[in-house]
Structure 1
Amino acid sequence: MKILLFFGSLISNISKKPYIHTKCGGPNSRIAFPKVNNLILFSQEDVRFYQSSRRFKKTNLFFIPNRIREIPSDFSRIKKHKVISRLQ
């Protein structure tokens, strides 16, 4: 992971384009996570962790909440589809 951060930062500096890193959940690293200017987080726990860290005081943190919601089932359409599929 550190090598990806290194190359991402290097390319960002050369191309003068911003580099944004994402941390996709999981436990927070016990070893030093490399500093980045922009970090996208997907859990409130990560947001609180990085906000409370002096190391990431100047990091722009972006939070994208869980985007998955329960999809309501339309049982009448399901039943109709099952009937049609049996006839074929």
Structure 2
Amino acid sequence: MGLISLLWGIVALLWMVLALVPVIGITNWLLIPFAAVGAVIAAIGILFTRREHRGRAKAGLILNGIVIVVAAIRLSMGGGLI
């Protein structure tokens, strides 16, 4: 679960960089639920793995959290459209 959430977070982060382009900013509406699913996978990975193996899940949770926050800020700056 940790590796999946980490890879999910990397994909979401790359998508977020693409969505920072002004005309493509509307894709943030799809990016936020995508990153939220990655955060849920990371949370499950943190809860159900041994303490020694939680690093990747924590990293995935942090990456997905950053993507959600930045995408929400970007949507609020563009009025939800741009």
Identify whether the pair has TM-score above 0.5, normalized to the shorter chain: no
For normalisation by structure 1, the TM-score amounts to: 0.28
For normalisation by structure 2, the TM-score amounts to: 0.29
Higher relative contact order (CA 8 A, sep 6+): 2
Higher strand share: 1
Higher helix share: 2
Structure possessing the higher radius of gyration over alpha carbons: 1
